[in-house]
Amino acid sequence: MKKVFVGLSGGVDSAVSAALLKEQGFDVTGVYMKNWSKAIGTIECPWEEDYKDAKRVAVHLDIPFLMLDFEDQYFEKVVQYMIDAFKSGITPNPDVMCNQEIKFKLFLEACLEKGANMIATGHYANTSDGRLFRAKDELKDQTYFLYRVTEEALKKTIFPLGDLQKTEVRKIAERFKLPNAKRKESMGICFVGKVGIKDFLKMYVDDTVPGAIIDQNGLVVGEHEGALFYTIGQRQGLGVGGGLPYYVTGKNMVKNEVYVTSDIADPKLWSDVLELTSVHVITPNKDLTRIDGQLYLRSRHRAPLIAIKSIESTKKGLRITLNEPIRAVTPGQSAVIYSDREVFGGGIVV
C-alpha cells in the first residue's frame, strides 16, 4: 500500500483530497505546513485556526497528522524574493515561488524522508508520468502557478481534484461529513490570508515617498504613495478622480513616477511580444522553440489562452510573439506556455 502524505491547509480542497485518497485505499497521512505566523498590523495571522481545522479533518478521517515548520525557509525563499522584487519595480508572483521552493521541494523532500512514497495537494491540476495538464474545472485550474514544478517532483505528486468541478468537491466534502465542508475559500496573499499586498509591504519597506502620477499627455494628475505599490494595468486604488478611469502603463523607480493613461486602447497598455527570463521547462531538454503543433500562452491566472505565433531563443531566455496583443503585460509576472491541455513551462516577464 502506497504511503501518501497530503498537505492539509485547513481548507476544503485539501481535506477532500485526503478523504478521496483514503477511500481509494492509500495509506494517508495529513501534514500541515506552517509557513507564516506573524500578525500584519492589527490583523492576526490565521495559522492557528488553519492548523486546528486541518487537525480536525485528520481526526475525522482517522489518519495520522503532523506539522512541518518551514517558516524560516519560507521567508528566505518566498517572502524576501517578493519584497526584493517589489523594491526593484517589478510585480512578482509569490504563489509560483511557493510551489517551486516550498510545496514541491522542501515539503516533498521532508515527506519522502519521513517514509512517504508520494505527496498530494488540493491543487486543481492533473499530472501523468511527470507531465502537467490543466484541470477539468477551467475556473479553478491552478496550472499557471505550477509551471515551475519539476518533472521529478510531479512524478511523486497526486492531484486528486484534477478531474472534479468545485461544486462536486463541495458535495464530496458533505458526503464525507468533513468538519470544514462549508468553510469559505481564503483570499488575499497566499500566506497571510485576508491582508492586502500594500499593507504587507509596508511592514518591510519604510523608504517609500509620494510622487507624481503622470498621464499619457505628460500632465500630473495625482500623487502616488510609493511607486513600488503599483502594477501595470492597475485601475483601482490610484486616487485619481474625475473623468475616465486611469490605468497604470509603467513606472520609473529612480524618478519615483507612475505613468497612467485614460485611453484603454493606448499602445503602452497592449503588447503582442513578450520577453521572458528565468525560463523553466517541465520536461528536461525539451526545446520550446521546436515543438510541433499550436502553442498557447497564459499571462496571468484565469487569463485566456492566446495563440503563439513564434518562440525564439534569446540571451536572456525567450521572445514570444502572439497572434493578438494582450493587455497589461507586467514585468515580474509569469507567462506560461501550453499546448491546449498540457503545460510545457514558462518564464518571468521582463
Q: Where in the chain is the domain with CATH 3.40.50.620?
A: 3-175
Measuring CA to CA, how many Å separate 267 from each of 232, 261, 308, 310, 329?
Answer: 13, 10, 20, 21, 12
Q: Where in the chain is the domain with CATH 2.30.30.280?
A: 208-261
Domain 3-175 has CATH 3.40.50.620: yes
Point out the catalytic residue in the list 12, 172, 190, 349.
190
Three-state SS letters, 26-69: CEEEEEEEECCCCCECCECCCHHHHHHHHHHHHHHHCCCEEEEE
The CATH H-level superfamily of 268-349 is: Translation factors (2.40.30.10)
Point out the catalytic residue in the list 19, 57, 83, 98.
98
Q: What pTM did the predictor assign? A: 0.94
Q: What is the predicted pLDDT for the residue at 32? A: 98
**Fold annotation for 208-261:** SH3 type barrels. (2.30.30)
Packed helices 12-23 and 47-61: angle between N→C axes, nearest 10 degrees: 20
111 annotated active-site: no
Q: How do the pLDDT tens digits run along the chain, 350 residues long?
A: 899 999 999 999 999 999 999 999 999 999 999 999 988 777 788 899 999 999 999 999 999 999 999 999 999 999 999 999 999 999 999 999 999 999 999 999 999 999 999 999 999 999 999 999 999 999 999 999 999 999 999 999 999 999 999 999 999 999 999 999 998 876 555 555 566 788 888 889 987 899 999 999 999 999 999 999 999 999 988 988 777 899 999 999 999 999 999 999 999 999 999 999 999 999 998 999 999 999 999 999 999 999 999 999 999 999 999 999 999 999 999 999 999 899 999 999 99
CA–CA separation, 80 vs 316, rounded Å? 23
45 annotated active-site: no
